[in-house]
Amino acid sequence: MPSYNLEILGLTLSFKTDAEPDRVEAARILVEERCKLLGSGGKALGKEKLLAFVALGLADDVLMSNQRLDDARARMVGLLKKIEE
| 19-40 pLDDT per residue, tens | 999 999 999 999 999 999 887 7
> What pLDDT is attached to residue 41?
67
Task: Record the pTM.
Answer: 0.77
Between 69 and 10, where is the model more confident? 69
Q: At 56, which helix (H) or strand (E)? A: helix 47-84
What gap in Å lies between CA 57 and CA 63, rounded to an integer? 10
Confidence of residue 44 (pLDDT cuts 50, 70, 90): confident
Q: How confident is the model at residue 62 (pLDDT cuts 50, 70, 90)?
A: very high
Q: Reduce the DSSP state of residue 16 to 3 states and report it.
A: strand
